[in-house]
Amino acid sequence: MFKVAVIPGDGIGPEVVSEGLKILDALEETTSLRTRRTQLDVGSSRFLRSGELLTEEDLSILIKQDAIFFGSIGDPRVPTGILEKGILLAIRTRLDQFVNLRPIRSWGDYSRLKNDKPFNITFLRENTEDFYMGAGGIFEGGKGRVPLKIKRALYDLEMDLNALSSNQDDYAFEIGVLSRKGIERFADYVMSHAKRTGQERVTVVDKANVCTNLYGLWRDVFRDRAKRNSIDLEFVFVDSMAMALIRNPEHFGMIATPNMFGDILTDLGAEIQGSLGLSASGNINPFGVPMFEPVHGSAPDIAGRNRANPIGAILAVKLMLEHLGMPNLGNMIEDGVEHTIEKGIVTPDLGGTSTTFEVGDSVAEFLRSV
Ligand code: NAD
Ligand code: IPM
Ligand code: MN
């Protein structure tokens, strides 16, 4: 019996999560899989009602689970960043989910690229540091002091910044930080994942030609870890990586990225498959509670219309079952998705006319029939 916390969240989150749960239901009917699910009311509606973001009580429930299945958060009625930082980033950092696993692959004719060579790429994105530290502030009038307190599972870091400018303008800043230990544990995970999945080369993304301090340390650690593990490394600057993902995605097998560049590149990666709605994501702490979610957000522009593509959420269930040690069930889900896409049962983002429900039903029906 696996304990799974379910957080449907905002916008299309609840719509796609219910299709993911449909897949779990189908597998529980036909295999020995069993889950005990606890749904949490975390998201914009509770925030607007009570002002609560991620509470200590939520965390005490989450920490007891085998996995979390998350929809999406974000609501136009709430100032941007409040829910994103207060809920999603709070879960990732409090549960120390320091690896973000985001696979992409081509789905036949649905690829957005003229180049129709098949590709299959595993993105591993560092998930707790970089420009996601929350280390920011504003020096009003061009001077003053901003004390910063950063809390991570690995460390507490205090920085005290003083500014004095030549004029009275306001200065906003957001600091990117990488700790040696943070890079080391991420690089170790990348190397072991590469070996486990038979990758001989890892492409490492950064902007070391400009952010020389931040990504200089990143490169040093990666070089060291690659040497120890006899893995070939290829460093690619993020701008060039964006180009290469369009030009020749088939060249890449595993791509390791810092947090922010990984955020951007994985939306691009999702879209070259055919749609952002196809991509799934695993937030992994190898020693703790992982969280699985689609890559996309709450998509307020299409919410409540039964037209969201649920495949990202369905493949998040696949990643969850794989992580929990059931790769065979994961493969069955992917087969069900392939079968559904091949039959042309796809939502409007892929040019189809099927609804969210119909796509979920088709995958669930496939799982009941095998
Ligand atoms: P988004 O990912 O929600 O949507 C981007 C575009 O892709 C929209 O046009 C949307 O309709 C489309 N899209 C996304 N998912 C789709 C799906 N499953 N099927 C069909 N079309 C889909 O990004 P955004 O519009 O920049 O952000 C909306 C809100 O979501 C913001 O509040 C943002 O902060 C938040 N967000 C949350 C997460 C998350 O919870 N993991 C991720 C990204 C953005
Ligand atoms: C994602 C999202 C989040 C991120 C936001 C909503 C905090 O874009 O999961 O890709 O930047 O990681
Ligand atoms: Mn994103």
The three-state (H, E, C) secondary structure of the chain, written as one string: CEEEEEEEECCCHHHHHHHHHHHHHHHHHHCCCCEEEEECCCCHHHHHHHCCCCCHHHHHHHCCCCEEEEEECCCCCCCCCHHHHHHHHHHHHHCCCCEEEEEEECCHHHCCCCCCCCCEEEEEEECCCECCCCCEEEEHHHEEEEEEEEECCCCEEEEEEEEECCCCCCEEEECCECCHHHHHHHHHHHHHHHHHCCCCEEEEEECCCCCHHHHHHHHHHHHHHHHHHCCEEEEEEHHHHHHHHHHCHHHCCEEEECHHHHHHHHHHHHHHHCCHHHCEEEEECCCCCCEEEECCCCCCCCCCCCCCCCHHHHHHHHHHHHHCCCHHHHHHHHHHHHHHHHCCCCCHHHCCCCCHHHHHHHHHHHHHHC
One-letter-per-residue 3-state SS of 26-92: HHHHHCCCCEEEEECCCCHHHHHHHCCCCCHHHHHHHCCCCEEEEEECCCCCCCCCHHHHHHHHHHH
User: What is d(CA 105, CA 319) in angstroms, rounded to the nearest whole number?
Assistant: 14
**Any ligand 2 atom below 6 A from CB of 88:** yes
User: What is d(CA 32, CA 278) in angstroms, rounded to the nearest whole number?
Assistant: 27
The bound ligand whose nearest atom lies closest to the alpha carbon of 267 is: 3
Summarised one tens digit per residue, pLDDT across range 155-195 is: 999 999 999 999 999 999 999 999 999 999 999 999 999 99
- Contact present, 102 and 326 (Cβ < 8 Å): no
Ligand 2, atom 7: closest residue by C-alpha: 84
User: Letter for the amino acid at 312?
Assistant: G
**1-105+275-370 fold:** Isopropylmalate Dehydrogenase (3.40.718)
Cα 267 to middle of ligand 3, angstroms: 6
**Any ligand 1 atom below 6 A from CB of 277:** yes
Query: Is the per-residue pLDDT at 115 higher than 90?
Result: no
User: What is d(CA 254, CA 200) in angstroms, rounded to the nearest whole number?
Assistant: 9
Q: If you average pLDDT over residues 213-222, what whole number do you get?
A: 98
Cα 111 to middle of ligand 1, angstroms: 19
Least confident of 78-92, 113-127, 216-230, 335-349: 113-127
Structural class in CATH, domain 112-130+177-273: alpha beta
What integer pLDDT is reported at residue 116 of this predicted model?
A: 78
Please, what is the average pLDDT of the chain?
97
Candidate from 15, 85, 88, 276 with most ligand 1 atoms within 8 A of CB, to mutate: 276
Query: Is the per-residue pLDDT at 358 higher than 90?
Result: yes
What integer pLDDT is reported at residue 239 of this predicted model?
A: 98
Question: To the nearest whole percent, how much of the chain has pLDDT over 70?
Answer: 100
Ligand 1, atom 4: closest residue by C-alpha: 299
Q: Is the dihedral of CA 212, 214, 215, 220 positive or negative?
A: positive
What integer pLDDT is reported at residue 39 of this predicted model?
A: 98
Model confidence, pTM: 0.98
**Any ligand 1 atom below 6 A from CB of 84:** yes
pLDDT band (50, 70, 90) for residue 114: confident
Where do the CATH 3.40.35.10 domains begin and end in the chain? 112-130+177-273
Query: Is the per-residue pLDDT at 24 higher than 90?
Result: yes
Cα 263 to middle of ligand 2, angstroms: 6
Q: If you average pLDDT over residues 111-127, what whole number do you get?
A: 93
The bound ligand whose nearest atom lies closest to the alpha carbon of 268 is: 3
What integer pLDDT is reported at residue 147 of this predicted model?
A: 96
Distance of CA 153 to the CA centre of its chain: 19
User: What is d(CA 33, CA 364) in angstroms, rounded to the nearest whole number?
Assistant: 15
Q: In ligand 2, which atom is closest to the CA atom of 293? A: 9
Q: What is the residue whose two structure tokens read 């005490």?
A: 60
**Any ligand 2 atom below 6 A from CB of 84:** yes
What integer pLDDT is reported at residue 246 of this predicted model?
A: 96
Q: If you average pLDDT over residues 14-31, what whole number do you get?
A: 98
- Residues around ion ligand 3, judged by CB within 5 A, are 263
Q: In ligand 1, which atom is closest to the CA atom of 281? A: 41
Cα 148 to middle of ligand 1, angstroms: 30
Where do the CATH 3.40.718.10 domains begin and end in the chain? 1-105+275-370
pLDDT band (50, 70, 90) for residue 368: very high
